[in-house]
Amino acid sequence: MLHLTFRQLSVFEAVARHLSYSRAAQEMHLTQPAVSMQIKQLEDNVGMPLFEQLGKKIYLTEAGRELSHYSRVIAQQLSEAESVLNDLKGLQRGRLKISVASTANYFAPQLLAVFGQRFPTVTVSLDVTNRQALLAQLANNEMDMAIMGQPPEGLDLLAESFMENPLIVIAPINHPLANEKKIPLARLQSETFLVREQGSGTRIAMERFFNQHGIQLQAGMVMSSNEAIKQAVQAGLGLGILSLHTIGLELETKRLKVLDVKGFPIMRHWYVVHRKDKRLSTVAQAFKAFLLTEAKQILGQ
Ligand code: PGA
């Protein structure tokens, strides 16, 4: 049985690669006598010479050539093991900087809670803003990744969908349409709608949908948050079109009603988005994989 150490093997691998004691010594930050000594011990262990010297040059013997094949594979595997372990360290101490569309704020914390339990030493910072601001942040490389609706083409962004995002029509529970079935789209024209601000993904999707169907809505007040729209709808100021993800609590406590309008929900998707050229940290890679494989299930979709 061979008795050799990893140390001897890695010194041998370097000498065999350079065919030079001095270059191997340089690479390994050792003195040349230290390298010669390791090789000598290895040759004693193997019981055969591994190098032969002809003039000033050294060559691998047949035994040396055989061993060199294995030592290369072992050295490669060791360095792979090292980088996996380093990555794991990175994962334990890493930071994650993400930004989410204001609408995604209704489920992102729940996902971060599960991710945080799994990687308790990872520090997360979360910024909540609308779609337009998110695109600007991505352009300026201000965060690891974003959770948002589908970004426009041509921005050198990579967007992968991980969950559906249905947009629905909400009304106060005592609204005359509250209990009607299959309300025709055109019927909405006689209602006033509270709408999100310019730059909101929800607003863009809603405008596109009604344009496609040739319907002109009466826009009432503009509000820059989903929360404000929900309050305003409850107060009877009009109807609203929001992501289903924003009204979980109101449906549970029966403060809002989802209208059964033909053609609804407007089906959008949530995407995890980052720049194509972004070198994701280990933590960011882990979070992205987590979103793509587990988010839907965790949120019970
Ligand atoms: P927003 O979110 O309406 O809060 O901008 C949705 C999206 O990004 O599409």
Banded pLDDT at 76 (limits 50, 70, 90): confident
Q: For residues 82 and 269, which has the higher predicted lDDT (pLDDT)?
A: 269
Strands 145-148 and 266-275: antiparallel
Architecture per CATH, 166-268: 3-Layer(aba) Sandwich (3.40)
How far is Cα 232 from Cα 223, in angstroms, rounded to an integer?
Answer: 9
pLDDT confidence of residue 187: 95
pLDDT confidence of residue 282: 87
Q: Do domains 91-163+269-298 and 166-268 have the same CATH topology?
A: yes
Residue 41 near residue 80, CB atoms below 8 Å: no
Q: Is the pLDDT of residue 153 over 90?
A: no
pLDDT confidence of residue 300: 84
Average pLDDT over residues 183-187: 95
- pTM for the structure as a whole: 0.72
> Distance, CA 217 to ligand 1 centroid (Å)?
20
> Distance, CA 134 to ligand 1 centroid (Å)?
9
To the question of domain 6-82 being in CATH 1.10.10.10, the answer is yes
Select from 3.40.50.300, 3.30.950.10, 3.30.930.10, 3.40.190.10 the CATH code of 91-163+269-298.
3.40.190.10
Average pLDDT over residues 224-235: 96
Q: For residues 78 and 224, which has the higher predicted lDDT (pLDDT)?
A: 224
pLDDT confidence of residue 82: 78
pLDDT confidence of residue 291: 97
Instruction: Using the atom order of ligand 1, give the atom closest to the CA of residue 131.
Output: 5
How far is Cα 39 from Cα 18, in angstroms, rounded to an integer?
Answer: 14
Q: Is the pLDDT of residue 88 over 90?
A: no
Q: Lowest mean pLDDT: which of 77-91, 150-164, 275-289?
A: 77-91
> Distance, CA 255 to ligand 1 centroid (Å)?
23
Quick one: residue 209, left, alpha or beta (phi over 0 = left, psi -120 to 50 = alpha)?
A: alpha
Tokens (6 digits) for 72: 């290369």
